[in-house]
Amino acid sequence: METKVFDLEKEYDEGLHAAANTIAHGGLVVFPTETVYGLGANAADEAAVKRIFEAKGRPQDNPLIVHICDISQAWLAAKDISPLARRLMERFWPGPFTAVLKKSNLIPYSVTAGLDSVGVRLPSSKFARDLIRISGCMIAAPSANLSGRPSPTRIEHVLEDMMGRVPVILNGGEADFGVESTVCDLTGDIPVILRPGGITAEMIEKEAGAVKVSGAVLEELKEGEKAASPGMKYKHYSPKANVTIISSADVHSLANELKLMYDKNVSEGRKTLILCTENTLGLIGNRHKRSLGSTPDEVAHNIFSELRKADTDGFEQVLFEATDTNGMGLAVMNRMIRAAAFEVIKV
Ligand code: TXA
Ligand code: MG
């Protein structure tokens, strides 16, 4: 399939109209949002939704998020929205917050993978909202990566995964957050975070008075256990390289362990990369290493693109410095723990 790529800095209107037209006619479009790039289609068009699953190679049982451009559309996508849910939506929208609500009849089961709930998100990206508005429909969109690969935060990632698979790609530059939205179940009395993201647990707790974090966020599902959020059960966000997480409260013990493990891997012939914070970088000596930044927000912004770069550069082993799980740290560890297939070494 021929793919047209528009640069939104120079071709905003052309890109917008080509994309809206494609969506309105049942096609797929890769578009930028403030979190990661999305792969969108008309949420009410079952054939179009099916094409999303095909283009990504996504498992059929993993539901899609429905994107809207105005809060009032939440009442089109969902029903029985509680006063608490409404308050949180008003507080965190537009932004990286996905509200899991009871689905309305307008949303087909192919979008929700058979669930009676639907994830609804009002993005803050101006382009994303313009696209939804001009297309004239709600847009179902997962992240625009091939299933299992790190989410795309830059246009290079999108081209790598989606060129030739969709008719239209929109280049909106680098995503602001770099990790996906917070998926939060608002169907009960207390909000439950199913996937941590741009809106932190602390922010939700402050607004709602209480918040729960689903066990599946940092723990592997036990055999036979059902995932509250189906996306959590897959080994996700993985680069080709093997990833190991190293965690320590003391920066010197951490640096020592990173160096030991690095040298062992290299002596066994594996090309190895250390991904760590700015603080630790100076303690690693002359080894392949990259800084992810100083704060959890910076680390979140950089992880997906550094994991992809590790692949491009041919690294076989990545050693990753654990962050704590406060603020954006919870989203970072949720993604990394999956990339590492739950392998964490504590020193
Ligand atoms: O920031 C984002 O959320 C990006 C941009 C494009 O909006 N989208 C995104 O979509 O990350 P995706 O499909 O890659 O991840 C959606 C996650 C999955 O883990 C899925 O299982 C969960 O949200 N999810 C969607 N609908 C759900 C529902 N009704 N109940 C529970 N989990 C749901
Ligand atoms: Mg995804």
Note the pLDDT of residue 62. 95
139 C-beta closer than 6 A to ligand 1: no
122 C-beta closer than 6 A to ligand 1: no
Task: State which ligand 1 atom lies nearest to the alpha carbon of 40.
Answer: 6
98 C-beta closer than 6 A to ligand 1: yes
Q: At residue 80, does pLDDT exceed 70?
A: yes
43 C-beta closer than 6 A to ligand 1: no
Mutation choice for ligand 1 from 37, 109, 143, 146, CB with most ligand atoms inside 8 A: 143
Note the pLDDT of residue 221. 78
Note the pLDDT of residue 234. 62
Q: What is the CA(142)–ligand 1 centre distance, in A?
A: 6
Mean pLDDT of 118-123: 98
Q: What is the CA(100)–ligand 1 centre distance, in A?
A: 9
Measured in degrees and rounded to the nearest 5, phi and psi for residue 151 equal -60, 145
Q: What is the CA(334)–ligand 2 centre distance, in A?
A: 13
pLDDT in tens, 191-235: 999 999 999 999 999 999 999 999 999 988 777 777 777 777 666
Confidence of residue 264 (pLDDT cuts 50, 70, 90): very high
Q: What is the CA(50)–ligand 1 centre distance, in A?
A: 16
pLDDT in tens, 333-345: 999 999 998 989 9
Closest CA to ligand 1's atom 29: 118
Q: What is the CA(286)–ligand 1 centre distance, in A?
A: 40
pLDDT in tens, 2-50: 999 999 999 999 999 999 999 999 999 999 999 999 999 999 999 999 9
Q: Give CA–CA dist 160/153, Å, rounded.
A: 12
Q: At residue 272, does pLDDT exceed 90?
A: yes
101 C-beta closer than 6 A to ligand 1: no
Percent of the chain at pLDDT exceeding 90: 93
Confidence of residue 93 (pLDDT cuts 50, 70, 90): very high
Closest ligand by atom to 231 CA: 1
Note the pLDDT of residue 278. 96
Percent of the chain at pLDDT exceeding 70: 99
Q: What is the CA(245)–ligand 1 centre distance, in A?
A: 25
Q: Which CA distances in Å does 234 have to 83, 148, 273? A: 33, 8, 24
Mean pLDDT of 118-126: 98
- State how far Cα 3 lies from the chain centre: 24
Q: Among residues 24, 25, 22, 26, which one has the least CA distance to residue 3?
A: 22
Q: What is the CA(246)–ligand 2 centre distance, in A?
A: 25
Note the pLDDT of residue 226. 75
**What pTM did the predictor assign?**
0.96
Closest CA to ligand 1's atom 13: 142
Mean pLDDT of the chain: 96
Closest ligand by atom to 236 CA: 2
Mean pLDDT of 279-292: 97
pLDDT in tens, 53-76: 999 999 999 999 999 999 999 999
Closest CA to ligand 1's atom 21: 231
33 C-beta closer than 6 A to ligand 1: yes
Mutation choice for ligand 1 from 62, 65, 158, 328, CB with most ligand atoms inside 8 A: 65
Mean pLDDT of 259-287: 97
